[in-house]
Structure 1
Amino acid sequence: MRKSFLAAAAVGLSLTLAACGSGSSTSTPSATGDATTSAAATTSSAPAAAGSLTVWADETRIDAFKTLGETFSAETGVALDVVQKPSADIKNDFIAQVPTGEGPDLIVTAHDATGDLVKNGVVSPVELGDKAEAFGDVALRAVSLEGQVYGVPYAVENIGLVRNNALVQDTPATFDELIAQGKGVSGAEFPIVIQQGENGDPYHLYPLQTSFGAPVFKSDANGDYTAELGMAGPEGEAFAQYLKKLADEGVLSASIGGDQAKQAFLDGKSPYIITGPWWTGEFVDAGLDISVLPVPSAGGQPAAPFVGVQAVFLSSKSENQLLAQQFLDFMGTKETQDTLFEMGGRMPALNESADAVSDEILAGFGEAGAEGQPMPAIPEMGAVWQYWGGAEVSILTGKAEPVAAWQTLVTNLEAAFQA
């Protein structure tokens, strides 16, 4: 199924993506046009109308994809009808509509939908061939399942350690040393703030958990997640005991949710916060001098945050497979990934674009995610969050003994997987 790829005439990178689910593999022409040519100039020599594609995007990406649609149409003559769908509905509506023939040709969504999309047969795999190495490894793993690639990734995000440089200038190598340092900062109420809340927040604690060698799921030889829990056993139990230690020391609290954590950092009450790029703009606007760093290890192994990837997926029932392949090829160019970075402020999935990012804060998140793990996209992940957060809160609040709470979590999850 692997095939060679034609270089795009002016942008130098093409991903002639073949939809494997259509029963045939056909190469399609690359999008043309100079990467430095303005949309207006390109329009003047745009090819004749060649058809149309419907794309669903949520409220946070609609503007960017409408802009891309104008450029794509100018270069190819293919119109892009970008339809806004609520982020909470896009996956389920797509799964419901594709079998009826009423769904779009393509959707833009987070990679953790991959498992459900594949399970329901609503997306076609795409073949990246030799150009797969043009993408970051984590980004590519995120949109892959059982050896198949199901989407073209374009943006990557993860959490990291954000430091207030007015309070501390050097960060220790271990999390325990960081806590000791933070406790010694004059005027600080917290050595670090990590949002939790009454329902818990395993996402923001995950770098600490993985540093104990307790990933949520185990992986196979290909790097794909299996349904076997990786956080069962002594490694996960050691992390549970560490949570209790942090709670006893006042480092972690279920009473500190996202808003409280953000405000504490803004007010200079803590030298550190574990968060993502969604808040750093507010920190900078407030006049804070910040740096973004990898989360130090608590358990001796690398602290690996979850990595989220945004991607474009192709409907298995699209009647416009060839045109859709053209758009997927377009999504893999440096020009397109640069545009999405400029409009969305997230690290590009394409290595060439990511390497060109000069913003120190975003580059810091890239470094913080270098050891990251894709958010599991297997169907079993849907059962994990509620039990996981509840178990961690029970430990933080002292309602349950750490090891017992963690063992109950594992038992509940394994039962849920069998249901």
Structure 2
Amino acid sequence: MTMDRRTVLKHLGGAGVVGALAGCVGVQNQSEQTAAESGGESGSDATDSGGDATATESGPAGTAKAWYQLADTEVPARKEAIQSYNDATKHTVEGADISDLRKKTTSAVPANQGPATFEWAHDWVGDYHQRGFVVDKSDALSVSLDEFTDAAAGAVQFDGATVGLPHAAETVALVYNEEMVDSAPSTVAEMQSVMEEYHDPENGTYGLGYPFDPYFVSAWGQAFGGYYFDSEADPQLGINADATVKGFQFAVDELVPYMPNDPTYGPQAAAFAEGNAPFAINGPWYLSTLNEKGIDYGVAELPAPEGGEPSPYTGITMWYFSKGMEGDDATTQAALDFVEWYTTNEDVLLRNAKEQGSIPVLESIATSDELPAAVQGFSKAVRQGVPMPTHPKMNAVWTPVKDALTKAFNGDADVGAAMDEAAKTVRSNWE
């Protein structure tokens, strides 16, 4: 079972914390769009997103479909960017917002009815490459992977193939209420001293709002040398390794006591968003909710535990080179040119950062002072972390670890025993 982390997490931001956020897995806040499903929606009423498109001068003009799945608040900027590209080049890109991109791509792409390119986080790379849904365009690129951060460049490659180009990153960071906290703590011990001051569950206040699942808790599971999965390691599965268990145990012992007693996204996110906690650990998708609630917040990298370094999983959002680009026809040229333009267009990327909290991975602006302060905080957290594994075996890891962490959170099982059981389940699923 794939976690579909981007569906689960990013779309939560625009929906608000209460109600639509009650529950993490499978939450989506978009309605069906019939026109989009047919792949025929393109932007209109566009403004110039900036930057010069670099359409190929030779060869015929091409028309390419580009699919994506966005929060409602992100769609207008995407339409405008596509329209700007279309206005500046001989090519035409037809953008479509798809309500269930995984379902749609897995059915349409093998039937040769899919798009030339589609956007998603990098965690599909290994699975889609092995299934033949994406193609290697490394020999056709005019953009060097050196233009992107190392983590982003690595995330779009699998078995020597370059199956897309990256444009943004996401991870979890420390969010703090500036009315309660003067400055971000650099250590967990400093953070705990503040949490002690505010934690009073009987009166509805807490020290921390922190969804307790494998993606969010990865920072601590990997803080002391542990890991979830590594295709190069022996053993490949590390969820019940001593160092990983130590990290999970740290989170249970040092953070859980300051949190609401429900580990799911809704209650944890609400604690901070309603002004009832000084700290949250969450991602950039959360900022729109905080803006709506009027919370004065700051964002910083995760504080260090004694003897360790937090290392959260990061996701890299990318434009994939779909099977529809396996040739060298006008459609392929249009799609490739659009992807190269979008992923290197500083004006588009800076707009996404300012309006959506997107974290650029283009080296020229990844650490720019033009980025909003909150985005700079998330960018530092990204540099703390490691990209999620792209190997298809990772798909079987998420759910057993989630079940184990829930048991540990609720006090229903010892952390080590829960992870041993999870490891057995994962290996059984692999077989």
Under TM normalisation by the shorter chain, which class is it?
A: 0.7 to 0.9
Matched residue, 1:372: 385
SS in 2 for 1:229: coil
Q: 1:90 aligns with which of 87, 95, 101?
A: 101
1:299 and 1:116 map into 2 onto residues whose CA distance is 37
SS in 2 for 1:140: helix
What is the CA deviation profile of residues 142-193 of structure 1, one whole-angstrom value per residue up to 9, with x for unaligned ones? 2222233211111111110011122122444332442233103487832222
Q: 1:313 aligns with which of 308, 314, 320?
A: 320
Q: 2:426 aligns with which of 408, 413, 419?
A: 413
Matched residue, 1:163: 176
SS in 2 for 1:370: helix
Distance 1:186 1:115, change over 3 A: closer
1:66 and 1:369 map into 2 onto residues whose CA distance is 27
SS in 1 for 2:258: coil
**Comparing 94-103 and 397-406, the one that deviates more:** 94-103
SS in 2 for 1:228: coil
Q: 1:56 aligns with which of 67, 72, 94?
A: 67
1:214 and 1:186 map into 2 onto residues whose CA distance is 30
Distance 1:39 1:292, change over 3 A: closer
RMSD (Å) for aligned C-alpha atoms = 3.0
Matched residue, 1:362: 375
What is the CA deviation profile of residues 94-121 of structure 1, one whole-angstrom value per residue up to 9, with x for unaligned ones? 2332232221111112211112210111
Distance 1:354 1:103, change over 3 A: same
* Residue 230 (structure 1) aligned with residue 238 (structure 2): yes
1:56 and 1:268 map into 2 onto residues whose CA distance is 37
Distance 1:219 1:84, change over 3 A: same
TM-aligned CA deviation for residue 343 of structure 1: 5.2
Equivalent runs, 1:294-305 vs 2, <5 Å: 294-298=301-305, 300-305=307-312
What is the CA deviation profile of residues 58-117 of structure 1, one whole-angstrom value per residue up to 9, with x for unaligned ones? 24354333322222222221111112211xx32332233223222111111221111221
1:231 and 1:257 map into 2 onto residues whose CA distance is 21
Matched residue, 2:253: 245
1:193 and 1:169 map into 2 onto residues whose CA distance is 18
Equivalent runs, 1:128-139 vs 2, <5 Å: 131-139=144-152
Equivalent runs, 1:138-177 vs 2, <5 Å: 138-177=151-190
Matched residue, 1:206: 218
TM-aligned CA deviation for residue 291 of structure 1: 1.4
2:229 and 2:175 map into 1 onto residues whose CA distance is 27
Distance 1:301 1:38, change over 3 A: same
1:39 and 1:346 map into 2 onto residues whose CA distance is 15
Q: Normalising to structure 2: TM-score of the pair? A: 0.76
SS in 1 for 2:123: helix
2:118 and 2:306 map into 1 onto residues whose CA distance is 39
Q: Normalising to structure 1: TM-score of the pair? A: 0.78
* Residue 255 (structure 1) aligned with residue 262 (structure 2): yes
2:49 and 2:177 map into 1 onto residues whose CA distance is 41
TM-aligned CA deviation for residue 303 of structure 1: 0.6
Contact 1:383/1:413, CA 8 A, preserved across alignment: yes
In structure 2, what residue type is equivalent to 1:375?
M
What is the CA deviation profile of residues 109-145 of structure 1, one whole-angstrom value per residue up to 9, with x for unaligned ones? 2211112210111211232588212111222222222
Distance 1:244 1:335, change over 3 A: closer
Distance 1:252 1:229, change over 3 A: farther
Contact 2:169/2:382, CA 8 A, preserved across alignment: no
TM-aligned CA deviation for residue 346 of structure 1: 0.4
Q: 2:123 aligns with which of 112, 130, 146?
A: 112
In structure 1, what residue type is equivalent to 2:130?
K
Contact 2:343/2:362, CA 8 A, preserved across alignment: yes
**Comparing 351-360 and 388-397, the one that deviates more:** 351-360
Contact 1:162/1:291, CA 8 A, preserved across alignment: yes
Contact 2:353/2:375, CA 8 A, preserved across alignment: no
TM-aligned CA deviation for residue 269 of structure 1: 2.6
Note the residue ranges of structure 2 that are not aligned, 5 or more in a row.
Answer: 1-46
Distance 1:99 1:358, change over 3 A: closer
SS in 2 for 1:80: strand
Distance 1:285 1:57, change over 3 A: closer
Aligned residues: 368
Distance 1:39 1:259, change over 3 A: closer
What is the CA deviation profile of residues 312-356 of structure 1, one whole-angstrom value per residue up to 9, with x for unaligned ones? 111234352223222222123234433444554301221223333
2:173 and 2:400 map into 1 onto residues whose CA distance is 24
Matched residue, 1:346: 358
* Residue 283 (structure 1) aligned with residue 290 (structure 2): yes
Note the residue ranges of structure 1 that are not aligned, 5 or more in a row.
Answer: 1-36
TM-aligned CA deviation for residue 287 of structure 1: 3.7
**Comparing 208-217 and 129-138, the one that deviates more:** 129-138
TM-aligned CA deviation for residue 246 of structure 1: 4.1
Distance 1:254 1:129, change over 3 A: farther
Contact 1:253/1:396, CA 8 A, preserved across alignment: no
Distance 1:227 1:113, change over 3 A: farther
2:48 and 2:78 map into 1 onto residues whose CA distance is 17
Contact 1:49/1:79, CA 8 A, preserved across alignment: no
